[in-house]
Every structure is written in structure tokens, then in C-alpha cells.
Amino acid sequence: MKIQLALDRLEIADAIQITRMVEDSIDWIEVGTSLIKEFGMASVRELKQAFPAKTIVADMKTIDNARYEFEMAFRSGADVATVMGVSPLVTIDICMEVAARFNKKVMFDLLNTSEDQVRELMNYRDAIFCAHVSKDEQEESGERNKGTKNGALFTENEVQVAAAGGITIESLAALRKSLNPSVVIVGSAITKASNPTQAAARLKQAVLKGE
Ligand SMILES: O=C([C@H](O)CO)[C@H](O)[C@H](O)COP(=O)(O)O
């Protein structure tokens, strides 16, 4: 199971500094949507320059204008870019085509994506499927990703699964049982911890031990 560090609501310099503190414990680096909206592609470029050996995920949350946005993300150094699962299939097709051309990957953000839509997306075997509980759901209703959404669908189909949304070391075991994601996306549990290095190291230990 890989750990994807989600960098949100930070200045680029602070995002780089926190990532330096935890880089030994994490695998992928997500340039969060909030960084991309605030600082544009400079955030993707700077994170890639600072960590050239890491997989950089640009959390574009594309829903339209896919060719322009995906080419921009990959040219800026992203290795993976996200598109919303609710997007029209023409948009999904473009994302897949651009990613194949750049030899990069697409992650589907399944926020608010119906089961029927997820079933349709299962045809895109090369994509990563991200089960996501949103920041607003977390902050307004206290929801956390426990892996209950779309779990059965993923076990029926052999696709790469990621999970995001308020994940902590405490929720890891339940998530592993329900969804068993190959990528676990963790933001605030690391970036907002009083000691991010320790928080990330503990998470890594838990992942390695299969806790
Ligand atoms: O995708 C995210 C969210 O929609 C804000 O853009 C976050 O990266 C994701 O939720 C992980 O962050 P935490 O929920 O803080 O772990």
C-alpha cells in the first residue's frame, strides 16, 4: 500500500518544507486542488523540481476542458492527474488519451459518482479509482472515509483503488478490510499534525505491519 501525501491549504514553500520532513515515509506527493487553484502550475513544477524521484499527483479535479488541463499538468511535471468520475465520458476519453500520449496516469475522483457511473468507468482498466469523502462532508458532517462506498464493485473488478478523505492511522485498519486500497491518500493527519515527521513515520509503520 502506497502513501500519497496530500498538500492542501499551504504556501508552496511550506508544502515543500513539510514534504522534506516526511519524504522517507511517503511514496506519492499530491499537489492539492487548493494549491493548484491558488498558485497554478507553478505548484506542480516546484514540487516536481524539489522531489524529482517521487510520483507527483496533480489533483486537477478536471471536469471539462480536459485536453488543455491534462497537457498542462503533465507538461508541468505531474505523473498522475485527476478527473472527476462524474465528467462526461468524452472528457474521460480525452484524459485517457492525453495520459497515454505522455506515458502518465489518470486518477478518477469518484466524489458523488453514482454506482452506474462507476460501473461504466470500470472499462478504463489503466486508471486509478479514488473513493473520496470530500472536505465539505468531513467538515460539515464529520464524515470519514471508511471504505464503505463502492467497496463491492472494486472487489469484483481488478482495478487500482485509492482512498481519500480524513484518513488517519486509526481508520487504516477498517479501510484495509473494506476497500484494501493500493494507495492511501492522507493530508491533514500529517500536514496538520504537531509533529508531521512522527505522524508520517507512524503511518508508514502501520502500513508496513498491515495494521
Ligand atoms: O482531495 C482532497 C480534498 O478534496 C481537498 O482538495 C484532499 O486532498 C483529500 O481529502 C486528502 O486530504 P485529507 O482529507 O485532509 O486527508
- Count of the separate structural domains present in the chain: 1
Q: Is the pLDDT score of 70 beyond 90?
A: yes
Instruction: Please report the DSSP string for the chain in residue order.
Output: -EEEEEE-SS-HHHHHHHHHHHTTT-SEEEE-HHHHHHHTHHHHHHHHHH-TTSEEEEEEEE-S-HHHHHHHHHHTT-SEEEEETTS-HHHHHHHHHHHHHHT-EEEEE-TT--HHHHHHHTT-TTSEEEEE--HHHHHHH-----S-TTHHHHHHS--EEEEESS--GGGHHHHHHHT--SEEEESHHHHTSSSHHHHHHHHHHHHHHT-
The pLDDT value recorded for residue 144 is: 81
CATH number at residue 145: 3.20.20.70
The band of 83, judged by pLDDT with boundaries at 50, 70 and 90, is very high
The pLDDT value recorded for residue 158 is: 84
Q: Which atom of ligand 1 is least distant from the CA of 191? A: 15
Note whether ipTM > 0.90 here. Answer: yes
pLDDT tens digit sequence for 135-160: 999 899 888 888 777 667 787 778 99
Residues flanking ligand 1, CB < 6 Å:
6, 8, 30, 32-34, 59, 134-135, 138, 164-167, 185-189
Distance 165 CA to ligand 1 centre (A): 5
From 34-48, 103-117, 147-161, the region with the lowest mean pLDDT: 147-161
Q: What percent of the chain has pLDDT over 70?
A: 98
- Which of 5, 9, 59 to probe ligand 1 with, by most ligand atoms within 8 A of CB? 59
**Domain extent for 106:** 2-209
pLDDT tens digit sequence for 185-204: 999 999 999 999 999 999 99
pLDDT mean across residues, the chain: 95
Q: Is the pLDDT score of 97 beyond 90?
A: yes
